[in-house]
Amino acid sequence: MDHLTISAPAKLNLALSAGAPNEDGLHPICSWMVTVSLYDDLELTRLPPDRFSRYAILWHGDAKRRREINWSVTKDLAVQAHLALQRYCRRSLPVQMKLEKRIPIGGGLGGGSSDAAAMLHGINKMYDLGLSAHDLASIGAEIGADVPFLVHGGSTIVEGIGDKLEPQEILPDLHAVIAFPEASCDTGAVYAGFDELALENLNPSAVRELAVSPPNSMPHEKLFNDLTAAALHITPALKDEMDCLESLVEFPVHLSGSGSSLFVICEGLDHASSMAELIERQLQLPAVAVRTVQPNTC
């Protein structure tokens, strides 16, 4: 196969519990994650064996929240995934990559990690490497904590430092609105704030209780994120935006990952679409309606 395009989905943390840092400074987590229908597009073209790989990263025309793409190409997680796969296979796998992003940078939605997962799947198929999803997830673990989950996608309880996955048999059919605040959150700073506020209380049972709830009776108001208080503490502007959003929609508003993206679980497609329009009109805050999806992993 000489050419393919892969959709790289965003993720939401429907529940996230975090504990005190390990000796290596990393915080153990237990999180219920799902993939949703907000995508980056990864386009790959196979190049002749004697060519060097080429990479282009840009915003898609309908991206809702754009920030400057100011990192070096070698720091991009999709590019790092390609290089890691070449090291694993001990051979050159030259491609031309065009990555068009819709998922905001640093929004807690796993965009870069999903791009990396899509790259692993794409190169595996393009070069007929025959690697399993487990193999790809193991390679992806060295790139980012969310990559192993996003290699699989769907609905999964993720533990440890992202390395322990417990896939759920049923992907709940959920609709939501994701809003993209102007404020941004640095993951390291959020975890530092988490430690400063002494919020460490790893509680896997609370995550599991939600994840096994019947989809039509899941208590949406009980979704939680242990990092929310820290994110709002270090980013007061985010707290203001979250308060305004909650007052407008009159539904619980949740933080995904370490922020800054906010989401609201809705009652269906029409509800999500109308809520996204309301948020954009009343708050001038970019928003998009999404639903849970099982990604196409080639």
DSSP string, 222-241: G-EETTHHHHHHH-HHHHHH
3-class secondary structure, 155: strand
Tell me how far apart the alpha carbons of residues 48 and 55 are, in angstroms, rounded to a whole number.
15
pTM here is 0.95
Phi and psi at residue 47, in whole multiples of 5°?
A: -110, 160
Mean pLDDT of 67-77: 90
Tell me how far apart the alpha carbons of residues 217 and 295 are, in angstroms, rounded to a whole number.
25
Nearest CA to 194 out of 28, 34, 33 is that of: 28
pLDDT digits (tens, 9 = 90+) for 280-296: 999 999 999 999 999 87
DSSP string, 170-214: -----EEEEE--S----HHHHHHHHHHTT-----HHHHHHHHTS-
Annotated catalytic residues are: 11, 146
What is the token pair recorded at 242? 């979250």
Tell me how far apart the alpha carbons of residues 263 and 180 are, in angstroms, rounded to a whole number.
9
Residue 53 has pLDDT above 90, yes or no: yes
Element (H, E) at 150: helix 147-152
Mean pLDDT of 125-137: 97
Looking at the chain, the whole-number percentage of residues with pLDDT higher than 70 is 98
Residue 163 has pLDDT above 80, yes or no: yes
3-class secondary structure, 75: helix
- Give the model's pLDDT for residue 68: 87
Q: How confident is the model at residue 297 (pLDDT cuts 50, 70, 90)?
A: low
Q: Which residue has the tokens 């805050």?
A: 285
Tell me how far apart the alpha carbons of residues 241 and 218 are, in angstroms, rounded to a whole number.
26
Q: Which residue has the tokens 């190409």?
A: 73
Q: How confident is the model at residue 31 (pLDDT cuts 50, 70, 90)?
A: very high
- Give the model's pLDDT for residue 217: 67
From-to residues of CATH 3.30.70.890 in the chain: 175-291
Which residues have CB under 8 Å from 164's CB, separation 6+?
Answer: 158
Which residues have CB under 8 Å from 74's CB, separation 6+?
Answer: 80, 83
Residue 60 has pLDDT above 70, yes or no: yes
The sign of the CA dihedral 257, 88, 96, 72 is positive
Provide the terminal-to-terminal Cα distance of the chain, rounded to the nearest Å: 12
Name the residue type at position 25.
Answer: G
DSSP state letter for 139: H
pLDDT digits (tens, 9 = 90+) for 195-236: 999 887 899 999 999 998 876 666 778 899 999 999 999 999
Residue 1 has pLDDT above 70, yes or no: yes
CATH superfamily name and code, 175-291? GHMP kinase, C-terminal domain (3.30.70.890)
**Residue 106 near residue 185, CB atoms below 8 Å:** yes
- Give the model's pLDDT for residue 46: 98
For the domain 3-167, what is the CATH code?
A: 3.30.230.10
From-to residues of CATH 3.30.230.10 in the chain: 3-167
Mean pLDDT of 235-248: 95
Average pLDDT of the chain is: 94
